[in-house]
Each structure stands twice: as structure tokens, then as C-alpha cells.
Amino acid sequence: MLFDTHAHLNDPKFADDRDQVIRRAREEFGVQTIINVGYNRETIRTTLELAEAYDFIYAAVGWHPHDAKDCTEEDLAWIRELTEHPKVVALGEMGLDYYWDNSPRDVQAEVFRRQIAIARETGYPIIIHDRDAHEDVVRILKEEGADEVGGVMHCFGGDLAIMEECLRLNFMIGLGGPVTFKNRATLPKEIARNVPLDRLLLETDCPYLAPHPYRGKRNETGYVRLVAEAIAELRGITFEELAQATQENAKRLFRLP
Ligand code: NI
């Protein structure tokens, strides 16, 4: 009954055992639905292959701020076209990354704005990547009217004040491995305790950000269960309640039956 709203199962780190990882997630960990996220030319292509191969895997397509400098008009037109694909349920991940600054910030912003426009045109929810850029992300979401379609703040790393801003902008909060870390600042835990239950989504971001006790190792989509258990404990509710609420939220946001 779990829903992993952010996976990169097309990553080369799964080249040797991708099918086993996916099967394990379903059979051992109770994962029912997965959204795999493509974020540049190559990963969009392999994300679609995966979504076409498994009926319970859906696709998000977008352009990552890291690769913004390589994004062409053709790429944006392609993303627009892919919204017609039956397994595409969201646009992204898109946003700003001021930690790595792999593309100039003005180019990151432009590619981000163009994709929000596509989302508004087509009515698709948005998956946001925000690293050390909270203020500018929120400002651009406001300026571009992103609240009209909403979406999810993937791997949310802000504080309670920024969370409130995102909620007002019609966005949900995605939480993953960091809520389980033992020796880490308590911000993700504070968010996990305080985010309204009807606005919370679970995610792994696998192969990255593996939860405790696998921290530093390859993450798997099945480990979303450890994220769910940690958040349920932080909130003082049962695992079942948490799993059901977050699954309903994901189905509502991505319009799945
Ligand atoms: Ni990601």
C-alpha cells in the first residue's frame, strides 16, 4: 500500500538487478505504485521505457537545473509533447540548484519558468528540485502562477516558514531518507511532525539518500517503507494510517485511480 513518489530506477546503479529491486519493492516492502523521474534527454528516454514496461510505474518528465545550460527549444517542445503519453503524470524534476551551480543561475531560472508555463498549459502537477534556493524557488512559483497546477516539493529541505509558503502555493511536501537519519539536524524531522497529513508524500529518490540503516549505500524504492515507519513514529500514528494517507495524497495529486 506504499507509494514512492520519486525514484530513479533507470539509474545505471540498477543495471545488474533492476527487475529484482522492483520485484522486492512490491513483494517484500509493500510498494504498490512508483513515479520514476526523468530529468534530461537520456533519463527521460529511459524513464519512459521503464513506465512502459511496468504497469505500476508512472513517469515524470522534466529538465533538471543541473542540465539547464543544455536545454534547447526542441527539448521543451518534446517535454510538452510527452504530456500526451499515457504514463506521464507530472512535469519535473525542475527548479533551482544553488549548491552545485552546474548551470548559470539565470539560465536555471529561465528553464524553470518555461517548464512551469508548460505545466499550466497542460494542467500537469510539478515536481520541484530546490537545493539552497528556497527564496528564489518560492518567488518564481508565485510569479509564474504555479499554484494553479500545484505539485510537490521533492526532498523538502526548508524550515517551517518555507513549508507554510509552499502549502499556500498549493504544493505538497515530499519527505525521504533524511527523516530517518540519526545524527542529522532535526529540520526534516520537524517538518515530518508538522506537515498536515493531507499534504505529505513519501519518496526515496533512489539510488540516492538511502534511509538509516542503509545510509551511504545504494537506496532502493522498497526502503520507502523505512521512511513511512519513521514518519509514523514521529507523528505518533500507526504505519497503516500514514501509508494510507500518503497514498491517497499521491493519487489525488497525480490523478491516479
Ligand atoms: Ni530526484
**SS3 at position 173:** strand
Q: Burial letters for 102-138: b for 16+ Cβ neighbours within 10 Å, e otherwise?
A: ebeeeebbebbebbbebbbeeebbbbbbbbebbebbb
The mean pLDDT of 141-154, rounded to a whole number, is: 98
Q: How many whole angstroms from 193 Cα to the centroid of ligand 1? A: 23
pLDDT value for 248: 98
The mean pLDDT of 124-145, rounded to a whole number, is: 98
The mean pLDDT of 239-245, rounded to a whole number, is: 98
**SS3 at position 195:** coil
Q: Cα(first)–Cα(last) distance of the chain, in Å? A: 14
Dist CA 241 CA 123 (whole Å): 30
> What is the side-by-side strand order in the sheet with 200-202?
2-7, 31-38, 57-61, 88-97, 126-131, 151-153, 171-175, 200-202
Q: What is the pLDDT of residues 200-233, one digit of tens each?
A: 999 999 999 999 999 999 999 999 999 999 999 9
CB atoms closer than 10 angstroms to residue 92: 29
**Do 76 and 68 touch, CB atoms closer than 8 A?**
no
The residue with cell 543495471 is 15
Query: What is this structure's pTM?
Result: 0.97
Q: What is the pLDDT of residues 208-217, one digit of tens each?
A: 999 999 999 9
Q: How many whole angstroms from 217 Cα to the centroid of ligand 1? A: 16
Q: How many whole angstroms from 79 Cα to the centroid of ligand 1? A: 17
The mean pLDDT of 123-136, rounded to a whole number, is: 97
Q: How many whole angstroms from 13 Cα to the centroid of ligand 1? A: 14
Q: What is the pLDDT of residues 153-194, one digit of tens each?
A: 999 999 999 999 999 999 999 999 999 998 766 899 999 999
Mean pLDDT rounded to a whole number for the chain? 97
pLDDT value for 184: 62
Domain positions in the chain: 2-253
DSSP 80-126: HHHTTSTTEEEEEEEEEETTT--S-HHHHHHHHHHHHHHHHHHT--E
Q: How many whole angstroms from 52 Cα to the centroid of ligand 1? A: 20
Q: How many whole angstroms from 121 Cα to the centroid of ligand 1? A: 24
Q: How many whole angstroms from 198 Cα to the centroid of ligand 1? A: 22
**Domain 2-253, CATH class in plain words:** alpha beta
Share of the chain above pLDDT 70, in %: 99
**Of 102, 94, 105, residue with least CA distance to 154:** 94
pLDDT value for 210: 97
**SS3 at position 191:** helix
- Residues by chain with Cβ below 5 Å of ion ligand 1: 205
Q: How many whole angstroms from 209 Cα to the centroid of ligand 1? A: 10
Q: How many whole angstroms from 14 Cα to the centroid of ligand 1? A: 15
pLDDT value for 185: 61
DSSP 207-224: TSSPPTTSTTS---GGGH
* Cell numbers at 108, concatenated: 536555471
Q: What is the pLDDT of residues 18-68, one digit of tens each?
A: 999 999 999 999 999 999 999 999 999 999 999 999 999 999 999 999 999
pLDDT value for 186: 82
pLDDT value for 253: 98
Q: How many whole angstroms from 245 Cα to the centroid of ligand 1? A: 22
pLDDT value for 182: 87
Q: How many whole angstroms from 93 Cα to the centroid of ligand 1? A: 7
